[in-house]
């Protein structure tokens, strides 16, 4: 953001929950989805009763585009939610 504030670049920062989707490799989410595909038990790191928000990679990409085409979003960080806690 320092470069944005110095007018060197225009920047907007999207912040997302954990990603999931086709071809997403993520140390936390990968085993959760890949284990059942291989017939194994899926394990979750942490309390399985605590809700956790996720975002599909396609939805994250759409949010990036919306932020990029709106000049009022620049110079800020945006917390982009997923579909809701699961």
Residue 26: is its pLDDT beyond 80?
A: no
Residues pairing with 55 in the sheet:
19
5 compared with 26, residue with greater pLDDT: 5
Residue 3: is its pLDDT beyond 90?
A: no
79 compared with 27, residue with greater pLDDT: 79
Interior angle at CA 60, CA 58 and CA 62, nearest 5: 70
Tokens for 42? 């899926």
The Cα 60–Cα 66 span in angstroms is: 10
Residue with structure tokens 């579909």? 83
- Averaged confidence pLDDT in the chain: 88
Residues 41-68 have pLDDT tens digits of 887 777 878 888 989 999 999 999 999 9
């Amino acid at each position: 953001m320092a470069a944005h504030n110095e007018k060197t670049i225009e920047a907007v920062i999207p912040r997302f929950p954990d990603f999931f989707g086709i071809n997403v490799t993520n140390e936390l989410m990968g085993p959760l989805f890949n284990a059942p595909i291989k017939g194994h038990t899926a394990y979750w790191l942490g309390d399985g009763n605590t809700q956790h928000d996720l975002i599909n990679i396609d939805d994250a990409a759409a949010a990036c585009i919306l932020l990029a085409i709106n000049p009022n979003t620049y110079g800020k960080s945006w917390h982009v939610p997923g579909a809701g806690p699961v």
